[in-house]
Chains A and B, each alone.
Chain A
Amino acid sequence: MRTPLIATLTALALLAVPAFAAEQTREAYAAAVEPICKSNKAAADRLLGPVKGLVKNDKLKQAGTAFSKAATELEKTQKKLAVVPQPPADTAKLAKWLTEIKNEVALMRQISTKFRQGKKGPASSLAVTLQQNATKANNLVIAFQFNYCKIDPTKYT
């Protein structure tokens, strides 16, 4: 009789450990995702930094390529962020945030296409939407007090 009891307690203990280990806090989540966003920011600075100058000089194809590459980088980042364990109370909010980041990727690809087509005006209109979308995304995660994970496309657009 003793053996089954010990086995049961051991099994319960083993079950309990992962349950506690999965309890992610906001601070721990922020600490886990900020380095991911930091490397994306470095890539975005490198790729999108020259975009304003390119557009002013009508080098729209290069601007389009830069947006396309930056979109690919952001997509990779979004996938990395999606696998980080989330605080249980914030899963719905973070799901929306990750969706908004996906929307940013889609918008950047659309901007890239417009630039490649030589359509400066529609591209700039999409850049406005990109900014508004970024503000929406940022407002979802205010409580995490992000630094690098706060989206700020203004300096590129």
Chain B
Amino acid sequence: MKRTGAKRPMHEPKASVGVAKRLSAAIVAALLVASVSVAGSLADTTQQGTLRVKFGGHLSPTRLPRTGLAPVAVALSGDITTTDHSTPPQLSTITMAINRHGRLNPTGLPRCHYHQIQPASTGEAHAACADALVGTGSFRANVALPDQSPFPSDGKVLAFNGVLHGHPVIYAHIYGTVPVPISQLITFRIHRIEGTYRVVLSAQLPQVAAEWGYVSGLSLTLKRTYRYKGQPRSYLSAGCPAPQGINVANYPFARASFGFDDGRTLHSRLTRTCKVR
């Protein structure tokens, strides 16, 4: 949790540090949720006890080649709520796996380094790493302050291509200005597994006190096309390998797990439809 130098007030009351921590915790949780939810027109909702997680989103375009790959964008959205309106537990881990017919390839894409975007405002982060930008989004959170009702807060999310210890990662930069300017960076490790879902993004959230706040909603769209060695490329690409004679198909789009600090883990799978172009 770091504060942005550029937006720091000159005479800041000490109490705002606590506020900053609370907001940061909420932002972190929001981002994690955003990264995991990948979906289509109908959201997938899972519930354990009173805790409910709703995922939504879509892949675009839906019309894709039967053989080979085409550039795609993945729009994600998510909501964490409780059925009894109590404060949800803090999100601690998030894992998302994408169908094997989708590909995430950062080859030739400029990389952003941690120190370039943290701490930074959204504008500063964008200016520092515009070439490495792979997605944008937003978050909504409720920040809990002592002796006050939780109040809503929102901000922007920027996703950058990066490398950590030689492995590809996505640095998700989150920035909010209410009640005080706060920036946070979450690292999503990218690795591959065998099976229906092949590309896995996972992140661990810092443990924070539950009373600091909770996420209420978020959205993130991953999309980036660029040129490398004179050839057009896309950070994300996908195909629609339906059998001959079939031009529209259901497919398991993504699988996600959300781990919360009270020990609960909610799993979700998203099914979407593609059309052969």
Contact = CB atoms under 8 A, between A and B. Distances in A.
Interface string B244-268: 0111111110000000000000000
A3 interface: no
Interface in A67-81: none
A143 B248 CA distance: 32
B64 to A, nearest CB: 15
Contact of B271 (A55, A124, A131, A136): A131
A131 B45 contact: no
Contacts of A157: 250
A154 B254 CA distance: 12
Interface in B72-107: 83
B245 A120 contact: yes
Contacts of A139: 42-43, 45
A39 interface: no
Given A143-B83, A154-B252, A154-B271, A135 B246 contact: no
A142 interface: yes
Contacts of B271: 131, 135, 152, 154
A86 B246 CA distance: 41
28 contacts: A55-B246, A120-B245, A120-B246, A121-B245, A121-B246, A121-B247, A124-B246, A124-B247, A124-B249, A127-B249, A127-B250, A128-B248, A128-B273, A132-B41, A132-B42, A135-B44, A138-B44, A139-B42, A139-B43, A142-B45, A142-B46, A142-B52, A145-B47, A152-B269, A152-B271, A153-B250, A154-B250, A155-B252
